[in-house]
Amino acid sequence: MEKTMDKIVNLCKGRGFVYPGSDIYGGFANTWDYGPLGVELENNIKKAWWKRFVQESENSFGVDAGILMNPTVWDASGHTQNFSDPKMDCKNCKNRFRADNLIEEHSKGKVSAEAMTNEQMEAYIDEHHINCPVCGKHDFTPIRQFKLMFETSRGTIDNAKDVVYLRPETCQGEYVNFLNVARTARAKVPFSIAQIGKSFRNEITPGNFLFRTIEFEQMELQTFCKDSEAIDIYNQNKLNALQFAKDIGLNEKRLRFHDHEKLAHYAKCACDIQYQFPIGWEELNGIHHRGTWDLSRHQEFSGKSMVYTDPITNEKFLPTVVEYSIGVGRLALATLCEAYDEETLENGETRIVMHLNPAIAPYKVAVLPLQKNLNDKAKEVLRMLNKHFMCSYDEAGSIGKRYRRQDEIGTPFCVTIDFDSLEDETVTIRDRDTMEQKRLKIKELVPYIYSKVEF
């Protein structure tokens, strides 16, 4: 079976995971809206991540900071100066590309432009006669840096406008609150601050569905520590991030570490976890050892001390930061790609099935009355189950077709109500992956399903 991005996109659009943004207006490039199934999938992914990295982690605390921040934050972080991509326009067809992407795509990933200067990239593109991927001509403008931050303005009077930015990453909300959290949560270094929230980037490259969007959610964990502890924490973060990716349902053989060749001047080491998407190996998440750069810059630009005092030793120092950051949509896309399967059944038919980890599946259980006159009993079972789980209810069509519909959206269990259910308070429960069916007492359903869908 060939697993293509087109198949995933079509299933997502057709079944209600994801729709093109502003669809009735012909869409809006690199934006997508999550439908009834997509929003459940995303919420479940976020819940699983929060459980792992906040609830089950010692010394980890959540925040939910504003999207709009004091603009000086972005001077301190370096974004107003440096957050840009090397852009080239095709003079012939007017399409816009990232020079580094042109090189990487042309060399099929064998050459990395990560460490190249703009001049080196231009020279490479000329020497290798890389053509425009759209019109095939070799007629590019020189590279110009393209700013990735979205600007907006605040103020009620037109001429009193101040530029503000839609945040391009969530982590600054964690850095600026470092001392607030340390004080109010009585948190002792090393400790972590986690956040899940929207970020915005004026991305110029084509999106590949949810992979690269201009508005996206990030899940970020910033660990504040002594510099001497940072490498161990960084290495542990790599393992934790990999373990989470596996636990959420990604196959180990499609995951790998990619250590960065080119580091930001303040960084000691940086690594991505890559996933083998149908479009190739691409970054799933990043893990960065950021030194004391972030807190020292905020100290400098805000004029407020960010120094931490160890309550036991009284030692005073500026903590080093280790970051783990992952996009919700990008992870959702990876889980959808991983889960997609086409199976040939014994009768020769093909079933499309999404083998999603039950913990992140949009619906945990579908309630299916075998016949219409069993609806009352089925609704009674539904009302019992939907106090605990997201449920689907389907009374239309043959039972086989109804099973297929649930397979396609990854529902791990189908509960069928038949005439025996009226007599003996039992139902048939069918497993999505094995298609095995067994009888269970109605009152056993809730604990049974809980035992299978917890993360």
Binding-site ranges for ligand ATP (CB under 6 A): 169, 201, 203, 212-213, 216, 218, 283-286, 325-327, 329-330
Give the Å distances, CA to CA, from 75 to 153, 221, 271, 289, 294. Answer: 16, 22, 25, 21, 11
Q: For ligand ATP, give the closer residue by CB, 168 or 362.
A: 168
CB of 79 to ligand ATP, least distance (A): 11
Q: State both tokens at 143.
A: 């590279």
CA 208 – CA 329 distance, rounded (Å): 12
CB of 7 to ligand ATP, least distance (A): 21
Single out the residue of 128, 195, 193, 191 nearest to residue 167, CA to CA: 195
Q: For ligand ATP, give the closer residue by CB, 212 or 430.
A: 212
Q: Is 58 helix (H, G, I), strand (E, B) or coil?
A: coil
Q: For ligand ATP, give the closer residue by CB, 203 or 407.
A: 203
Q: For ligand ATP, give the closer residue by CB, 325 or 406.
A: 325
Q: 11 CB contacts (<8 Å, ≥6 apart)?
A: 17, 336, 340, 352, 354, 408
CA 288 – CA 237 distance, rounded (Å): 9
Q: For ligand ATP, give the closer residue by CB, 216 or 363.
A: 216
Bridge partners (DSSP) listed for residue 258: 272
Q: For ligand ATP, give the closer residue by CB, 18 or 284.
A: 284
Single out the residue of 218, 275, 212, 213 nearest to residue 3, CA to CA: 275
CA 265 – CA 289 distance, rounded (Å): 11
Contact 148, 296 (CB under 8 A): no
